[in-house]
Amino acid sequence: QSALTQPASVSGSPGQSITISCTGTSSDVGSYNLVSWYQQHPGKAPKLMIYEVSKRPSGVSNRLSGSKSGNTASLTISGLQAEDEADYYCCSYAGGSTFVVFGGGTKLTVL
């Protein structure tokens, strides 16, 4: 199972909005509304930020939003803040024994 495709890096200035794409196939992203997004700061464990394409766990900022169209999911962060600088990973359920597949990760830089 190939990894989902994410841009290696994105950047934005404080207050701006950015979008990170996550492209899969009809076997994963395109077949299930079961995409999640994780934030990881250097040396730390990942943190769940979005699940089921667009739902936010309790305590996650409403500046983050998720969406999906066809085989591509997206994470949008509005009102960028310095604390948003981190690596972001998408993950999709892929069914059966393949279970889940991660994206390669995107490094977000807040300029």
Partner 1 sequence: EVQLVESGGGLVQPGGSLRLSCAASGFTFSTYSMNWVRQAPGKGLEWVSYITTWSSTIYYADSVKGRFTISRDNAKNSLYLQMNSLRAEDTAVYYCATVGNAYGMDVWGQGTTVAVSS
Label residue 41 left, alpha or beta by phi (over 0 means left) and psi (-120 to 50 means alpha): beta
Query: Considering the rule CB under 8 A, would residue 105 count as an interface residue with partner 1?
Result: yes
Residue from 21, 31, 47, 67 that binds partner 1 (CB under 8 A)?
Answer: 47
Q: How far is CA 21 from CA 43, 55, 59, 96, 103, in A?
A: 24, 17, 23, 25, 10
Q: Which is nearer to partner 1, 52 or 85 (CB)?
A: 52
| Shortest separation between residue 40's beta carbon and partner 1, angstroms | 8
Candidate list 27, 31, 34, 63; residue touching partner 1; CB under 8 A: 34
User: Pairing relation of β-strands 47-50 and 35-40?
Assistant: antiparallel
Touching partner 1, residues 51-90 (CB under 8 A): 51-52, 55, 57, 89
